């Protein structure tokens, strides 16, 4: 497949005469994902994944996507469309899916999940798996990057599912693949193996180590009941792996006794509208859509620059709104609206505050600081915006960048003529408010 730079250069291209590649979100060594719209519904954002037709059994893959589009479960990413296309002489397959906000792999570089968070994460994940198994499918690729959030729901990627009756032996790609894959193909119990590896990863930030026989060592530091669940999931014989119902039963005591973090007394909240959710599974009673990019304009769904939307169903880059950040720089002043566009030094005419959902804010510990620099033309429009301090989360970085691009200014006057200018916009994201500070920057 092409490099990220090549894919980004394809933004704006039209796929199958109906899907515009609005913004590159991310990808892997065999796929690329872009932000797009559903045809005839410009307000309905979606994600479109492209893969080389030569890399897969094209007809079989398209048939699976058509079948997956008929599945309906609140914990599965919906598939809307799919087909063949050509780009620069290369045959591609595309699938259009529900837009997710981030994935669990973006949380783990920042921190491991707490037992209470994992206890809340598992029921919706297991519900999605159980539904697939009942329909004759296996997930086939359960791992943190394929555990997603959309809206307020935790969801499994559905573009890689396969009928276990049609599974054929293939080479294991990594430790998430069950050892029987090379001999028997995928089985429902293969998803349990992947689940066991995923649990180790989210609780320790590392996958378990594998010995020469392909057996995995379960870390002794895992808390119960997760250590016992992982031991059962990682049994070499798939017939010995305990069923999903057993896992749910063992999970109940953990959910009842899981400690919760003390709440932070917030400042008065600002109004927020429904937005995309970041996957840091911090919630109280509900699985908060942690996840998360980026990905791409995934939340304000627009913009460009170093932050893209979370690779929906593609391997997103790391990053997560979970860490605090430094306070506002000294000398910064809150952004205000100018009364006149003729102010000699220039001023802010229109301030846009990032629209962040409360469930995304719930992932914040302390405060997240993001600084964007905007270069403003003599008409007061933002000609260029880039991040100078992206902060620890690509989601909030993207939200800040998208907002900064929509600011407007009264240009400074030089010899009576409007002049270009540059500004630094500092966003402070907290659990219940966003503070914004501006200062002039050197051009």
Share of the chain above pLDDT 70, in %: 75
For residue range 235-254, what is the model confidence (pLDDT) as tens digits?
989 999 989 989 988 886 55
End-to-end alpha carbon distance in the chain? 39
Check pLDDT > 60 for residue 182: yes
Tens digits of residue pLDDT in 396-425 = 888 899 999 999 998 888 888 899 999 999
The bridge status of strand 382-389 relative to strand 417-418 is unpaired
Q: Which residue has the tokens 């250069």?
A: 9
- Give the C-alpha separation, 24 to 7, whole Å: 7
- Decide: 327 and 41 in contact? Cβ < 8 Å: no
Structure confidence at residue 324 (pLDDT): 37
- Supply 310's token pair: 């979370």
User: Considering Cα of 161, then 165, then 166, then 169, what sign does the dihedral take?
Assistant: positive
CB 309 within 8 A of CB 398: yes
Q: How far is CA 298 from CA 58, 162, 267, in A?
A: 28, 28, 27
Q: What is the mean pLDDT of residues 25-36?
A: 83
**Helices 188-204 and 115-134, axial angle in degrees (round to 10):** 160
Q: ∠ CA 206-212-218 to the nearest 5 degrees? A: 35
CA–CA separation, 286 and 75 (whole Å): 13
Q: Is the pLDDT of residue 371 over 70?
A: yes
Q: How many CA atoms lie within 13 A of 70 on its CB side?
A: 7
Q: Are strands 147-150 and 382-389 parallel, antiparallel or unpaired?
A: unpaired
319 exposure class (CB count in 10 Å sphere: 0-12, 13-18, 19+): buried
Nearest to 400 by CA among 319, 318, 302, 333: 302
The two counts, helices (H) then strands (E), for the chain are: 9, 21
Comparing 144-148, 338-342, 356-360, the range with the smallest average pLDDT is: 338-342
Q: How far apart are CA 47 and CA 121, in angstroms?
A: 24
Give the residue with greater pLDDT, 267 vs 216: 216
Q: Quote the CA–CA distance of 303 and 386 in Å, as a whole number.
A: 11
* pLDDT at residue 277 is higher than 80: no
Q: Give the closest residue to 349 by CA, choosing from 331, 335, 363.
A: 335
Distance CA 328, CA 10 (A): 37
Band of pLDDT at residue 156, cut at 50, 70 and 90:
very high
pLDDT > 90 in the chain, percent: 35
* Model pLDDT for residues 290-319, shown as the tens digit of each residue: 333 333 333 333 333 333 344 444 333 333
pLDDT band at 185 (very low <50, low <70, confident <90, very high): confident
Distance CA 146, CA 343 (A): 51
Kindly report the average pLDDT of the chain as a whole number: 77
The domains of the chain, with CATH numbers, are: 4-98 (3.30.200.20), 102-257 (1.10.510.10), 333-441 (3.30.2420.10)
**Cβ contact 95:80 at 8 Å:** no
Question: Could you read off the pLDDT of 50-65 as tens digits, one per residue?
Answer: 998 887 888 888 998 9
What count of residues does the chain have? 443
Provide the token pair at 204. Answer: 């320790």
Closest listed residue to residue 224, CA positions, set 214, 232, 235, 236: 232
With cut-offs at 50, 70 and 90, classify the pLDDT of residue 440: confident
Q: Cis peptide leading into 120, omega within 30 of 0?
A: no
CA distance 178 to 56: 21
Q: Above 50 in pLDDT, residue 104?
A: yes
Whether omega before 419 lies within 30 degrees of 0, making that bond cis, reads no
- The pLDDT of residue 2 is 64
Quote the CA–CA distance of 342 and 95 in Å, as a whole number: 50
């Amino acid at each position: 497949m092409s490099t990220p730079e090549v894919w980004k250069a394809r933004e704006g291209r039209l796929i199958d005469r109906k899907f515009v590649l609005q913004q590159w979100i991310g990808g892997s060594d065999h796929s690329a994902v872009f932000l797009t719209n559903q045809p005839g519904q410009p307000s309905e954002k979606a994600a479109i994944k492209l893969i080389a037709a030569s890399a897969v059994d094209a007809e079989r893959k398209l048939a699976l996507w058509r079948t997956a589009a008929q599945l309906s479960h609140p914990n599965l990413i919906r598939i809307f469309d799919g087909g063949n296309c050509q780009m620069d002489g290369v045959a591609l397959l595309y699938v259009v899916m529900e837009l997710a906000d981030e994935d669990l792999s973006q949380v783990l570089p920042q921190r491991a999940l707490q037992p209470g968070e994992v206890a809340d994460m598992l029921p919706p994940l297991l519900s999605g798996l159980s539904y697939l198994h009942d329909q004759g499918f296996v997930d086939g690729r359960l791992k943190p990057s394929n555990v997603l959030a959309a809206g307020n729901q935790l969801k499994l990627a559905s573009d890689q599912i396969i009928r276990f009756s049609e599974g054929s032996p293939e080479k294991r790609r990594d430790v998430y693949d069950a050892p029987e894959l090379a001999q028997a193909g995928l089985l429902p119990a293969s998803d349990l193996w992947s689940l066991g590896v995923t649990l180790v990863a989210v609780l320790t930030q590392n996958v378990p180590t594998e010995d020469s026989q392909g057996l995995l060592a379960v870390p002794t530091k895992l808390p119960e009941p997760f250590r016992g669940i992982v031991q059962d999931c990682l049994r070499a014989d798939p017939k010995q792996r305990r069923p999903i119902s057993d896992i749910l039963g063992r999970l109940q005591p953990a959910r009842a006794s899981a400690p919760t973090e003390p709440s932070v007394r917030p400042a008065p909240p600002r109004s927020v509208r429904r937005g995309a959710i970041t996957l840091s599974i911090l919630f109280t009673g509900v699985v908060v859509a942690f996840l998360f990019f980026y990905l791409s304009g995934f939340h304000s769904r627009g913009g460009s620059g170093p932050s893209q939307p979370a690779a929906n169903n593609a391997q997103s880059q790391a990053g997560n709104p979970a860490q605090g950040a430094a306070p506002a720089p000294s000398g910064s002043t809150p952004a205000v609206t100018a009364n006149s566009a003729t102010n000699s030094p220039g001023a802010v005419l229109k301030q846009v505050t990032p629209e962040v959902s409360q469930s995304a804010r719930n992932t914040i510990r302390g405060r997240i600081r993001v600084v964007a620099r905007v270069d403003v033309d003599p008409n007061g429009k933002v000609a260029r915006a880039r991040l100078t301090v992206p902060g620890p989360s690509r989601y909030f970085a993207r939200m800040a960048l998208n907002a900064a691009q929509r600011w407007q200014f009264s240009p400074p006057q030089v010899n009576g003529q409007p002049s270009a200018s540059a500004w630094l916009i500092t966003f402070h994201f907290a659990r219940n408010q966003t503070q914004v500070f501006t200062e002039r920057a050197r051009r």
